Amino acid sequence: MNDVERALQTFYSMKLKNIMPSVASMPIVTVDSPIIDVLKLLRTRHHVWVVNNKKEMKLEGVIRYLDVICILLPPENTKARLGNISTVFKSILGGAEKASDVMERNVMTIDEDATVLDALTKMRRYRVQILAIVDENNILRGEISLRLLIDEFLRLMKVGGVQWLQNGSSSPSE
């Protein structure tokens, strides 16, 4: 087994709880937060987690950067299809006022004891780039994104003294 394969095996087996950022650094709003607060966060973030309140931190939903389009468009510009009528009401002009009005309720989650391999597998299966890390009571504990996983893999490669060459082989870094 070469150095890159060893690094990947270590990477795959890492527990998410050991690499996830602290909840304090995450973009979080409550269900009753005004949409303006959500938009302010989305200027610099790709998503905002929505919780019931800051004390309990029960995960209720997520608002993604691309959801802003539906929030800002007038309702008549949103195509309402059978089973998708709710997007009409996610517009500010359609009556949306707070985070709970515009959030996506079906959030992809994963347990904090899951491994990097578990997270990557779930991301690929459901074509998502970020997962909420929750406990058994659906309390938000952290998040894991593809970007964080890339950073962690690169950190691991550097720490392990391995340089990954384009042809797929590895050599000790100098």
Contact 31, 52 (CB under 8 A): yes
DSSP 67: G
| Cα–Cα dist 90/103, whole Å | 8
**Domain contains 34:** yes
Q: Is residue 73 part of a domain?
A: yes
138: in domain = yes
In a domain, 174, yes or no: no
What per-residue confidence (pLDDT) applies to 58? 98
CATH assignment at residue 62? 3.10.580.10
User: What residue ranges of the chain have pLDDT lower than 70?
Assistant: 1, 76-89, 160-174
Residue 8 structure tokens: 């990947």
Note down the domain range covering 141. 3-162
For the stretch 156-169, pLDDT in tens is 887 766 555 544 44
Q: Return all residues near 77 (Cβ < 8 A) that are at least 6 apart.
A: none
Within-domain flag for 168: no
CA dihedral sign of residues 172, 168, 150, 11: negative
Q: Is residue 75 part of a domain?
A: yes
Whether residue 170 lies inside any domain: the answer is no
Residue-level pLDDT at 92: 80
Cα-Cα-Cα-Cα dihedral sign, residues 66, 133, 60, 29: negative
Is residue 171, in this structure, part of any structural domain at all?
no
- Distance separating alpha carbons of residues 122 and 115, to the nearest angstrom: 11
**How many structural domains does the chain have?**
1
Q: What is the DSSP string of 100-133?
A: HHH-BS---EEETT-BHHHHHHHHHHHT-SEEEE
CA–CA distance, 136 with 58 (Å, rounded to integer): 11
Tokens of 119: 């997270």
**What is residue 18's predicted lDDT score, i.e. its pLDDT?**
94
pLDDT of residue 158: 79
48 CB burial (10 A radius; 0-12, 13-18, 19+): buried
